[in-house]
Amino acid sequence: MEIKTIETHPFEDQNPGTSGLRKKVKTFQQPNYLENFVQSIFDSLDDIVDQKLVLGGDGRYFNRQAIQTIIKIAAANGFSELIIGQGGLLSTPAASHLIRKYKAYGGLVLSASHNPGGPEEDFGIKYNVGNGGPAPEKYTQAFYRRSKEIASYKIAEIPDIDLDTVGTQKFGTLTISILDPVNDYAELMQTIFDFDLLKQSIGSGYITLKFDAMHAITGPYAKTILEDMLGAKPGSVINAVPLEDFGGGHPDPNLAHAEELAEAMFGPNAPTFGAASDGDGDRNMIMGSQIFVTPSDSLAILAANASLIPGYAKGISGVARSMPTSQAVDRVAAQQNLPCFETPTGWKFFGNLLDAGKITLCGEESFGTGSDHVREKDGLWAVLFWLNLIARKRQSVADIVTEHWQRFGRDIYARHDYEAVATDIADGIVAYLREQLPTLPGKAFGDYIVLYADEFAYTDPVDGSVSKNQGIRIGFENGSRIVFRLSGTGTVGATLRIYLERYEPDSNLHDQDAQSALAPLIELAEKFCEIKKRTGRNGPTVIT
CB 378 within 8 A of CB 369: yes
Beta bridge pairs of residue 501? 413, 481
- DSSP SS3 for 89: strand
d(CA 472, CA 456): 6
Terminal-residue alpha carbon distance, the chain: 52
Handedness of CA 527, 532, 534, 536 (dihedral sign): negative
Supply φ then ψ for residue 286, to 5 degrees.
Answer: -110, 130
Residue from 44, 113, 296, 366 carrying the catalytic annotation = 113
Q: Is 113 a catalytic residue?
A: yes
Q: By CB neighbour count within 10 A (0-12 exposed, 13-18 middle, 19+ buried), where does 142 fall?
A: middle
CB 277 within 8 A of CB 284: yes
Segments in 396-485 forming alpha helices (H) = 397-408, 423-436
Phi-psi region of 213 (alpha: psi -120 to 50; beta: other; left: phi over 0): alpha
d(CA 388, CA 386): 5
CB 177 within 8 A of CB 84: yes
Nearest-CA neighbor of 379 among 528, 225, 259, 518?
Answer: 225
The 8-class DSSP code of residue 136 comes to P
Report the 10 Å Cβ neighbour count for 541.
Answer: 14
Here the contacts of 227-233 (C-beta below 8 Å, separation 24 or greater) are 229/186, 229/195, 229/199, 230/195, 230/198, 230/199, 230/202, 231/199, 231/202, 231/203, 232/202, 233/208
d(CA 425, CA 494): 9
How many degrees, rounded to 5, is the angle at CA 440 between CA 437 and CA 445?
Answer: 140
The 8-class DSSP code of residue 201 comes to H
Annotated catalytic residues are 113
